[in-house]
A and B are shown apart, each in its own frame.
Chain A
Amino acid sequence: MVTTNEYKNDTKHYKGMNISIILFVFVLFSTIGLYFYNMTIVSKIEAMQTQVAQVEESIKKVNEDEKVKLYVLIQANKTYLEKYKYLSNIPMFINSLKELARVHRVVFDGFSYANGEIISQLTAQNDAVTLASAKTTKFLEYFRKKDEHIFSLGFVNSFQGQEGVSFWVKFQVK
């Protein structure tokens, strides 16, 4: 004959067993679920790796075209090429110097150009209307007070003469 206490004890252990079975089944199914989920991710990864390889191959094929390579290179160095071209515009620089000489009634002697820097010797002579010193001052003023020219004038640290004032000028192409 089963006593009430024994019955209660059996039921308690029976419940405990059921819980442990449910827990085990839950863990087992969860693990199986994780396994299939992992398999799905792995197959997606493989598919994506294939896709990446295909796209890379397509890029490589397009890149084999010399014109495409060149276009990319030119676009990447557009600023550099524009500067290269601009600094190569020697006739424009010489004509600008000549225009400066005409406007300020001075003479440039020599033209030494290297990478955007021009060195020349400037001479201003007295004439019937203007003193050489006034021409010199006006010339320097033009560069110091306005900033409109394609050249900027470097600091001039030495002047020779009075009736004919000469000095070295160093222009930087802007």
Chain B
Amino acid sequence: MNNNAKYKFLTYLFLLLTVFVVFLFSKNLYTQITENTKQKQALTQQLEEKNAQYQEISKIKSDIDSWAVQDIDFDKFLSNFSEDELVEYFYSYANNNPSKVQIQTIGLSQWAYNEFGFMEAKIDLWVTFSSEKDMLDMITFLQNSQKYNFFIHELNYSLGNTLSPISVNIPLKVLYK
């Protein structure tokens, strides 16, 4: 084999090897690098978001632990919805105001999650009050309860009746977590 043919052969051989390397290795590696770079970018973003979320939630926890959060009464939301405590709560008010409040019936319904993620229970309180003022006093007492988150969104009574006793159904809503 003369030099010319040898050079030619080696030229084609290396060109073939180059093509072989490019198609079997380089191309695949390039594809992998492209995909991995995308994955890395997505992970970087995810990590940033998670870190921000963690920082935010850690701050909340440290604020709660250091009593910096004062506008939320956690105990009211974390109280249990138990019949014994609720019944005791209503009757103790009535017993403390015997001439003003007479409880007729207390109806409790099972709790259910409302659309906002809180547990919500309903209590139907049938009460006879000596006067309208006594009714408003009890409603105010319930609204300002230190123990429960009571809400009243319905009420029917004969407004203006200041003389005779009033029997009223107070449909209470209790929110808790």
Residues of A within 8 A of B (CB): 6, 9-10, 13-14, 16-17, 19-21, 23-24, 27-28, 30-31, 34-35, 37-38, 41-42, 44-45, 48-49, 51-52, 55-56, 58-59, 62-63, 65-74, 76-77, 80-81, 84-85, 87-91, 94, 97, 107-116, 120
Contact = CB atoms under 8 A, between A and B. Distances in A.
B81 interface: no
Interface in B61-89: 61, 64, 69, 72, 74, 77-78
A115 B11 contact: no
Contacts of B12: 20
A2 to B, nearest CB: 9
Contacts, number: 185
Interface stretch (B100-108, B122-130, B148-156): B148-156
A34 B57 contact: no
Given A10-B4, A62-B54, A41 B47 contact: no
Given A38-B33, A52-B46, A23 B153 contact: no
B72 A71 contact: yes
A55 B29 CA distance: 31
Interface of B: 3-4, 7-8, 10-15, 17-18, 21-22, 25-26, 29-30, 32-33, 36-37, 39-40, 43-44, 46-47, 50-51, 53-54, 57-58, 60-61, 64, 69, 72, 74, 77-78, 116-118, 136, 139-140, 143, 150-160, 175, 177
24 contacts: A14-B3, A20-B18, A35-B25, A38-B36, A45-B36, A48-B40, A59-B53, A59-B54, A66-B78, A67-B74, A71-B64, A71-B74, A77-B116, A84-B175, A85-B151, A87-B151, A87-B153, A88-B143, A91-B143, A107-B160, A111-B158, A113-B154, A114-B154, A115-B154
